[in-house]
Chains A and B, each alone.
Chain A
Amino acid sequence: MVCFLATAFFWAVFPPYLLRRIVKQINFIGVKTTLVIVLTGTFTGMVLALQTYYALVKFGAETSLGPVLALSLIRELGPVLSALMVTGRAGSALTAEIGIMRISEQIDALDAMALNPYKYLVIPNLLAGIISIPLLNAIFVVVGVWGGYAVAVGLTGVSSGTYFGGIRDFVSAKDILVGLYKSLSFGMLITWISCYKGYFTGYGAEGVSKATTQAVVLSSVTILIWDYFMTSILLT
């Protein structure tokens, strides 16, 4: 698997660069996942506001609802949940698509034309993942904060000034960078695993369905494990 990634990056250095395919995959992985991200982001923000408020009231600290919510979204929930949504929505489709191309000999056909399949199938997806997942993460965090705001101000009576003022005071550039690093690495992980599983799929429809399941499970588990390591490294 490491070899697969190294080969892909090796070929990425040489032309042709196939920008149109990269744009197409950004549309597929990124743009078409936006609606899902907006929905899950909003509701995550809303439920987080309820739960956090419930906990904070016990300490009499409900005025810090804004920053607590923003920090957990920016540092943790945004990157992880948006990555999981992309895995379910686009990662599985990538594996299935590449797997079908493998079993119907379309990958061999590219190779037979002396065209490098990595250039057409793997590299555009890797780059599209690395570009679009941080952007999706940003959307997730923003709508999450607004969803939290709606609940905080509408239901629990925290004032709007307290909510955003707190966020401005307590969220630093470093927190945003942590989220960015995480989602960049998740973007690579998801597309790497999905492309690898599709590229080396087993025979027949059963092979592709197995590969797709494995890609989703492996991506999700890896995201959570990798998230722990990233957090522990970035906190120090």
Chain B
Amino acid sequence: MIEVVDLYKSFKNHEVLRGVNLKVEEGQTLALIGGSGKGKSVLLKLIIGLTKPDRGKILINNQDISKLRGKLLKQLKERCGFVFQGGALFDSLTVFDNVAFPLREKTRMKESQILDTALSELARVGLSGAENKYPSEISGGMKKRVALARCLVMKPEIVLFDEPTTGLDPLTGKAIHKLIRDCQKSLHFTAIMVTHEIPAIFPLVDRVAMLYNGKIIASGTPAEIETSQDPVIHQFVHGELEGPISIQ
């Protein structure tokens, strides 16, 4: 379970998050929507402890991660996975070595076991045969799949996806969505997914939350969000140019 209570974060004098409240139940998937540059990535990074909040609490299974230090923080991070927007693959390593990296650095598995595990993870995301390519040689969709494989190879309980389909063609995007859904079904992780795929994402998630002006202004089932009468949500979800949201 992930719970965010009254979270504040600013950079210099630019206030990005102004009191975010959010809750994701065990095993559920939440879609986080909101305008570009409004702090969705910052929120994900706060949740996994990559940056520290100015104020507020982040509870993961009832442990406040902003208060954890050293070993406890490490153990908590080991149970979480993060799929970065650009993939964040190590570009000095091949696709296979990228997926094997967490196994080599974090487990005491034998090399033969690592080979099996990483190859089956690559097969799961449909990348058999691309093991020896470097990240610079593969397409954007493949990079996102490798990033997914690298994250899932550690069997995380919580996975945070930062725009897993942005910049991909509609078909590849759909394939990634299905892949995430299938993985979620077999691994039962709790997930937060930042996405702009509205309304395509709605049938695939349990809940939707919208970030606006540094706050979560609405959180509900996909149907509730889609039919919301709130003018801000309505404008954003239906992609209308006229309305209370000013577009820079």
Contact = CB atoms under 8 A, between A and B. Distances in A.
Interface string B234-246: 0000000000000
A114 B48 CA distance: 10
A177 interface: no
A114 B86 contact: no
Main secondary structure of the interface of A (DSSP, over half): helix
Nearest to B74: A114
A111 B45 CA distance: 10
Contact of B102 (A101, A108, A113): A113
Contacts of A114: 73-75, 77-78, 106
A106 B101 CA distance: 13
A112 B48 contact: yes
Contacts of B91: 100, 104, 106
Nearest to B85: A105
Main secondary structure of the interface of B (DSSP, over half): mixed
B105 interface: yes
A112 B80 contact: yes
A199 to B, nearest CB: 14
Contacts of B154: 113
B82 interface: yes
Contacts, number: 45
A7 to B, nearest CB: 14
Nearest to A113: B102
Interface residues of B, number: 23
A105 B86 contact: yes
Given A114-B106, A115-B105, A115-B106, A109 B74 contact: no
Interface in B28-84: 45, 48, 50, 73-75, 77-78, 80-82, 84
Interface of A: 100-101, 104-106, 108-109, 111-115
The 5 A-B pairs at the shortest CB distance, nearest first, are namely A114-B77, A105-B88, A109-B88, A112-B82, A114-B74
Interface of B: 45, 48, 50, 73-75, 77-78, 80-82, 84-86, 88-91, 101-102, 105-106, 154
12 contacts: A100-B91, A108-B50, A109-B88, A109-B90, A111-B50, A112-B50, A112-B80, A112-B82, A113-B105, A113-B106, A114-B73, A115-B106
Given A106-B89, A108-B82, A109-B88, 16 more contacts: A104-B88, A104-B91, A105-B84, A105-B88, A106-B88, A106-B90, A112-B48, A112-B77, A112-B80, A113-B101, A113-B102, A113-B105, A114-B73, A114-B75, A115-B105, A115-B106
